[in-house]
Amino acid sequence: MFDSITIVGVGLISGSFSLALKEKRLAKNVIGISRTEASIKKALELGLIDESLPLKEAVEKSDLIYVAIPVDATVTVMREIMDMITDKQIVADAGSTKNVLCKSLADHPMRKRFVATHPMWGTEYSGPEAAVRDAFVGRSCVICEKEKSDKDAVETMENVYKQLGMHLVYMDADAHDVHAAYVSHISHITSFALANTVLEKEKEENAIFELAGGGFASTVRLAKSSPAMWAPVFMQNRENVLDVLNEHISQLRKFKSCLEKENYEYLWELMENANKIKRIIV
């Protein structure tokens, strides 16, 4: 049980993390950090945090500092935080990319107090109002470069995520970023692009509104996601994302070619192959 933790960022992930820790009685006091005064006010109102302090004071008071802000800002803020801590404290992040951050902290004298984590949960919403109870339950949490963190720090974070109902997966930062490109980042890009496709081509918006069913809503919902959060993810992981995006465009071209050539058999084959995803996504 932590006496005090700091969450840097008071949004979807950090807010849900705080709610879960409070519910499991894992944290007595939660300090919130945000550049946006309105977010702090909202987070206090919603009970996501107990107080807000300047970063230095917050870090001093905290057993755990949990960073969940855009991954570009994370790199900068994380170095500041790591410069402030003692070897009794733990720092963890929740970012969707791991390579850039881990590299940037590789030589930091306090590296061992940092645990690189990625709880694989989220929604298309952001800000303090997006925080929900019972987030994370049943989902995976990736821990990267476990061997570069102190044993007690890793065990503490493992324990926290397990109590939140997550199962743990271990990999190095490179592997994480490759996998994340496949199972998360590309989904966001296809969804953003699909929204732009429909918005571009369909001028009679009422017709979309009237007709759009559950299938469309499901494939396009990630297009509501925050550019502030996701643009830095795509940029930090651009090589992997480009690989998957190229493959995806080439898969779409196969469908295009089937339709152009009225190649019914190959179309069927492509769809039957796609059905194999049933084995993976129940």
Site for its own copies in 210-269 (CB under 8 A): 210-225, 227, 230-231, 234-235, 238, 241-249, 251-256, 259-260, 262, 264, 267-268
CA dihedral 110→113→119→124, nearest 10 degrees, is -50
* Binding residues for its own copies restricted to 21-40, rule: CB under 8 A: none
Amino acid type, 134: D
State how far the Cα of 254 lies from the Cα of 257, in Å rounded to an integer.
5
State how far the Cα of 256 lies from the Cα of 252, in Å rounded to an integer.
6
Contact between 161 and its own copies (CB under 8 A)? no
Nearest CB to its own copies, comparing residues 49 and 220: 220
Nearest CB to its own copies, comparing residues 28 and 125: 125
Give the helix/strand (H/E) hosting 51.
strand 51-52
Side-chain-side CA neighbours of 37 within 13 Å: the count stands at 0
State how far the Cα of 156 lies from the Cα of 165, in Å rounded to an integer.
15
Nearest CB to its own copies, comparing residues 108 and 139: 139
Nearest CB to its own copies, comparing residues 84 and 194: 194
* Binding residues for its own copies restricted to 103-122, rule: CB under 8 A: 120-122
State how far the Cα of 49 lies from the Cα of 268, in Å rounded to an integer.
53
Binding mask 191-210 for its own copies (x = CB under 8 A): xxxxxxxxxxxx--x-xxxx
* Binding residues for its own copies restricted to 119-148, rule: CB under 8 A: 120-124, 139-140, 142
State how far the Cα of 27 lies from the Cα of 75, in Å rounded to an integer.
25
Nearest CB to its own copies, comparing residues 130 and 169: 169
Residue 17 backbone dihedrals phi, psi, to 5 degrees: -60, -45
Contact between 187 and its own copies (CB under 8 A)? yes
Contact criterion met (CB below 8 Å) for 192 and 223: yes
Contact between 281 and its own copies (CB under 8 A)? yes
Nearest CB to its own copies, comparing residues 107 and 204: 204
Number of amino acids touching its own copies (CB under 8 A) = 93
Using the rule CB under 8 A, give the single segment among 11-19, 46-54, 97-105, 175-183 that binds its own copies: 175-183
For the CB of residue 106, give the shortest distance to its own copies in the complex, in Å: 23
Contact criterion met (CB below 8 Å) for 143 and 169: yes
Residue 167 backbone dihedrals phi, psi, to 5 degrees: -105, 145
For the CB of residue 86, give the shortest distance to its own copies in the complex, in Å: 34
